[in-house]
Structure 1
Amino acid sequence: MSEMDLPELNRAELHAVEAMRAGGAVVVTNPSPMTYGVVARDARAINRLKGRPVDQPVGISIHGETAHDQLFRYLDVGTDTRAAIDFALAERITVLAPIRPDPTRPEWLAPAIQDGWVVFFDGCWGQLAYLWTSFPFLYGSSANRTGEAPAASAAEARRQFPGGTMVIDADHLREPAATYGASTMIRVEPDGRMSLHRSGIQDQAAGGAEVILERLREFRSSVARLDGSASSPLGKTYLSTAATRQLLPRTRIRLGFARVPNKNADGPRVWDVIRAHVGCNSLGTATAAGELLAGGRLSIEGIGGTLVGCEPPLRDQEEWLKTFLMSKPSWRLDGDELTLTSGGSTITLLDRKIAEPDLPLEGIRWEVVTTITNADLRHHRSLAEHAWITIDGERLTGWTGCNELAATVTRNNTELSFSDVTVTDQACTDETAAVQAAMLATLGSAVDYTVDYNELTLLAPSGIGLDLKAGSEPLPWSPLRVRR
């Protein structure tokens, strides 16, 4: 299907993504009764569009789960307060919260931080799914020129931002409202106290800020009662070290726990999520916040997953794990070790960061596994020639599958910047040429990088990137180190 065959709104999303990849700002639709907003990958583009100093702090939409987890790791508030913040995000409320001055904090948070406080929201709207999922996070602000009210329609946005500024017009998807307004902003203190920082449409529609705040306080209290005072595995991933059932060779139980806002209108406002894997399908389910681990038991009613056809031994092992997890096993956390017990069966797991420490970025031959477009769309290039990179100090060397690659690299805690990129000039096959193009498009400035044990992800601001894997194991196989 060509671009011209797409509906007008989808074409507009495509053009908006391209504009933001090029460093521009775009005016986007929010669901009623919220006003329009301005989003960009470069915070300075928002300020230039609004006629403000380019270094003025802006808000940041943490609509991606990875961005959510990275931000929440540095918020200077308790676990129950984080749950209340997730509730606010699900209600499209903007949050002002204290953030710890940690040197490992991601650089991309800096434009949303001022004097130890960070402003964030979740702007993702399902009607514009492609636009939002094309980026792990976006900077944002209300759609208004300085001194004017935020735009409540596409026509008003075009009046305020003439001269070719792109406006995503989705008025036909919004419910008419008597009153439109920007989002309410709450302020969260380190001790968990919450107050109104800026009045907005949510508190006005609810009949006052105190109504909103009381709902958040009640939710925080209820989750605190369910969570109890003990430490929790939420926010971590664990790998099995022992199990009553003998697992198949080179397989291992992997359990991940997370707490996330519910982006849908139906259901609890905050989910507790468990994800599982034992060699074949990816499994998972969600419960209302606080219920998953309440009372020292793992409580789920059912579990779904992908539909990969497993060989009988793997299928039987997976069914055993599903039955075990649905049997309401007790759980106990002792430092980094998590133990689940049900009847005569026990599974012992270790925090993944301890069981499989992340490999160093440098000195590893990182082999290209997939190329990335739109931040989350992966392409396996099975017909491409082998490609890899190695970083040693300030020098990158590599092979694109048909050409030698070299570059200068500088590094901080979450970003790499590449310069002086050179590549030889041999002809490539079609698939290998696509890999080489992705590699060259990725190796620019301000490239986000994450290392997850033996896997490296590079993601450029354009949404283009690479998944790579260490070319060989750092240690021989052992029960605590299995290549995934």
Structure 2
Amino acid sequence: MSIMDLPPFNRAQLHAIEVLRGGGAVVVTSPSPMTYGVVARDPRAVNLLKGRPVDHPVAISVHFRTAHDQLFQYLELATDARAMVDHALADRMLVSAPIRPDPAMPEWLVPAIEDGWVLFFDGAWAPLWTLWGSFPFLYWDGTDNPPVATASEARALFPAGTVVIDADDRRTPASTYGPRTVIRVDTDGRPTVQRTGIQDQEAGPALLDRLREFKSAVAVLDGPGRTPLGKTYVSTAVFEDDEPKELVPRTRIQVEFARDPNKNEGGPNVLDVVSADVGCNHLGTAVAAGELLTGGRLSIPGLGGTQVGCQGPLRDQEEWFKTFLTSTPSWRLDGDELTLTSGGTTITLLDRKLAEPDLPLDGIRWKVMTTITNADMRQGFRFSGQAWLSFDNGRVSGWTGCNELSGTYTRNNTELSFSNVTITDTPCPPDTEAFRTTIRTTLGPATTYTITHNKLILLSPSGTGLDLTAE
């Protein structure tokens, strides 16, 4: 199927994604009763379209868990206040919160920070998920003055040729449209309305009361002390009836805990999420915030997950683990160690960052496992198993499976900028050209990189990238 065979709405989103990856800005629909907004991967593009200085602070949408969790690492807020912030995000408000200075802070947050406060929200909306789901975060500014409520108004407001995603037919018409309310949350967790918007116009003083009540209720459920929320743990020991239990070779238990704003219509505003893996399927569930870890028990009503057909011992191990997780095991934290216990079974786990620390970028030979297209689609190539990259103090070298490559790079906390990349011109089979083109495209300016233990992801602004593993 070609792009022209898709419905016009889908084609419009794909065109908008191309514009965003090219450094431009587009105008997107928000759900009623909010106004349209301007989004971009580059904050300067937002400001140019809005007719403002390019370095004007903007808001940032953290609609992927990775971006959301990275931001929350740097907020100067207590845990119960963070749950309240997620409640405001689920209600589609803008949040202004204090951020602690830290040299390790990701550079992509800087455009949304002003005088020690960061302005953020969760902009993802299901009808536009093709667009929002292609980027972990986007810079944003609303169309508040005048309030733009329809696609035709947006086209009249912005210069000719501006991409406007028209989703008016997917919104419920409202009698009044307005900008998002901006909630300011102080370090002590006290919320105030920083800018009046559509949410507090509809709810009035009850809006702040609702946020305070949620904060207090979750604080009671969470209880005093630390919780495993926001961490991933991997098993270090398993005992059944005081005897060691051996897991299937080359497997271990991994459990991740998270707290997220609910992106779906209906249900609790904030969810506590558990994800687990024991060597085959990815398992998980979500419950209302505060109900997952209440009273020292892990309360999982049921587990969903992927549907990989596990064979033999892996299948039996997964069924054993699912039974354990849904048996309301007790949990206990001792420093970075988490212990889960149910009946005669005890599982000891360690914070993944200690058990499997992230490898450095430099000094490692990174083997290419798959290529990436459209930011998240993996594809294997016959020659990818032979290709590798190595980084050494500003110089990159490697092998494409047919040719040698070399070049230079600079780096910050989240990006690599490659230059002078050359690839030898040894004749290669025609079916390897697409693979080599992907490598060339990835090794360009503003390539984001993330390292998780022994995995490296390189992703170019175009959505092309490489998935690599340390050899």
TM-score of Structure 1 vs Structure 2, range by shorter chain: over 0.9
Question: Residue 49 of structure 1: SS of its match in structure 2?
Answer: helix
Q: Take 1:175 and 1:283, find their aligned partners in 2: how far apart are those partners? A: 35
Q: Take 2:260 and 2:403, find their aligned partners in 1: how far apart are those partners? A: 43
Give the letter aligned to residue 152 of structure 2: A
Question: Residue 92 of structure 2: SS of its match in structure 1?
Answer: coil
Matched, 1:191 2:188: yes
Q: Take 2:437 and 2:135, find their aligned partners in 1: how far apart are those partners? A: 20
Question: Which residue of structure 2 aligns with residue 264 of structure 1?
Answer: 264
- After superposition, where does 1:251-330 map in structure 2 within 5 Å? 251-330=251-330
Question: Which residue of structure 1 aligns with residue 233 of structure 2?
Answer: 238
Matched, 1:173 2:170: yes
Q: Is the 8 A contact 2:367 2:385 kept in 1?
A: no
Q: Take 2:271 and 2:232, find their aligned partners in 1: how far apart are those partners? A: 17
1:151 pairs with one of 139, 143, 148? 148
Give the letter aligned to residue 15 of structure 2: H
Question: Which residue of structure 1 aligns with residue 242 of structure 2?
Answer: none
Give the letter aligned to residue 127 of structure 1: P
Deviations 1:52-101, CA, capped at 9 Å, x for gaps: 00000000010111001100110110111111111111111110001111
Matched, 1:220 2:220: no
Change (3 A) 1:232 1:385: closer
Return 5+ residue gaps in structure 1 as ranges.
Answer: 472-484
Matched, 1:93 2:73: no
Change (3 A) 1:430 1:76: farther
> How far has the Cα of 1:396 moved from its partner?
0.2
Question: Which residue of structure 2 aligns with residue 163 of structure 1?
Answer: 160
Q: Is the 8 A contact 1:404 1:423 kept in 2?
A: yes
Greater alpha carbon shift after TM alignment, 452-461 vs 433-442: 433-442
Q: Take 1:37 and 1:421, find their aligned partners in 2: how far apart are those partners? A: 38
Give the letter aligned to residue 161 of structure 2: G
Q: Take 2:308 and 2:456, find their aligned partners in 1: how far apart are those partners? A: 25
Give the letter aligned to residue 171 of structure 2: R
Aligned-residue identity in percent: 66
> How far has the Cα of 1:198 moved from its partner?
0.7
Deviations 1:251-305, CA, capped at 9 Å, x for gaps: 1111111111110012111111111111111111111111111100100111111
Q: Is the 8 A contact 1:400 1:432 kept in 2?
A: no
Q: Take 1:100 and 1:415, find their aligned partners in 2: how far apart are those partners? A: 21
> How far has the Cα of 1:426 moved from its partner?
3.4
Question: Which residue of structure 2 aligns with residue 476 of structure 1?
Answer: none
Q: Take 2:173 and 2:26, find their aligned partners in 1: how far apart are those partners? A: 23
> How far has the Cα of 1:427 moved from its partner?
4.1
Q: Is the 8 A contact 2:369 2:385 kept in 1?
A: no
Q: Take 1:370 and 1:214, find their aligned partners in 2: how far apart are those partners? A: 50
Question: Residue 119 of structure 1: SS of its match in structure 2?
Answer: strand
Change (3 A) 1:195 1:291: same
- After superposition, where does 1:300-379 map in structure 2 within 5 Å? 300-379=300-379
Question: Which residue of structure 2 aligns with residue 466 of structure 1?
Answer: 466
Q: Take 2:293 and 2:382, find their aligned partners in 1: how far apart are those partners? A: 42
Give the letter aligned to residue 369 of structure 2: V
Matched, 1:113 2:139: no
Q: Take 1:180 and 1:104, find their aligned partners in 2: how far apart are those partners? A: 39
Q: Take 2:237 and 2:385, find their aligned partners in 1: how far apart are those partners? A: 39
Provide the aligned C-alpha RMSD in A.
1.3
Q: Take 1:388 and 1:430, find their aligned partners in 2: how far apart are those partners? A: 20
Deviations 1:161-210, CA, capped at 9 Å, x for gaps: 1221111111111111110011111001011000001111111122x1x2
> How far has the Cα of 1:154 moved from its partner?
0.8
- After superposition, where does 1:380-395 map in structure 2 within 5 Å? 380-382=380-382, 384=384, 386-395=386-395
Question: Which residue of structure 1 aligns with residue 130 of structure 2?
Answer: 130
Change (3 A) 1:431 1:175: farther
> How far has the Cα of 1:10 moved from its partner?
0.6
> How far has the Cα of 1:440 moved from its partner?
1.5
Question: Residue 450 of structure 1: SS of its match in structure 2?
Answer: strand
Q: Is the 8 A contact 1:37 1:140 kept in 2?
A: yes
Change (3 A) 1:322 1:130: same
Q: Take 2:10 and 2:461, find their aligned partners in 1: how far apart are those partners? A: 21
Change (3 A) 1:217 1:451: same
Question: Which residue of structure 2 aligns with residue 58 of structure 1?
Answer: 58
Matched, 1:44 2:41: no
Give the letter aligned to residue 193 of structure 1: R
Give the letter aligned to residue 160 of structure 1: L
Deviations 1:384-411, CA, capped at 9 Å, x for gaps: 4621100000100011222211111112
Question: Which residue of structure 1 aligns with residue 418 of structure 2?
Answer: 418
Q: Is the 8 A contact 1:385 1:432 kept in 2?
A: no
> How far has the Cα of 1:449 moved from its partner?
1.2
Change (3 A) 1:430 1:118: farther
Greater alpha carbon shift after TM alignment, 31-40 vs 436-445: 436-445
Deviations 1:16-48, CA, capped at 9 Å, x for gaps: 011111111000111111111100001001101
Change (3 A) 1:405 1:327: same
Question: Residue 234 of structure 1: SS of its match in structure 2?
Answer: coil
Return 5+ residue gaps in structure 2 as ranges.
Answer: 240-244
Q: Take 1:380 and 1:79, find their aligned partners in 2: how far apart are those partners? A: 42
Q: Is the 8 A contact 1:339 1:347 kept in 2?
A: yes
Q: Is the 8 A contact 1:362 1:390 kept in 2?
A: yes
| TM-score normalised by L of structure 2 | 0.97
Q: Take 2:464 and 2:57, find their aligned partners in 1: how far apart are those partners? A: 26
Q: Take 1:231 and 1:391, find their aligned partners in 2: how far apart are those partners? A: 38
Question: Residue 108 of structure 1: SS of its match in structure 2?
Answer: helix
Q: Is the 8 A contact 2:77 2:188 kept in 1?
A: yes
Q: Is the 8 A contact 2:369 2:384 kept in 1?
A: no
Q: Is the 8 A contact 1:135 1:374 kept in 2?
A: no
Question: Residue 386 of structure 2: SS of its match in structure 1?
Answer: coil
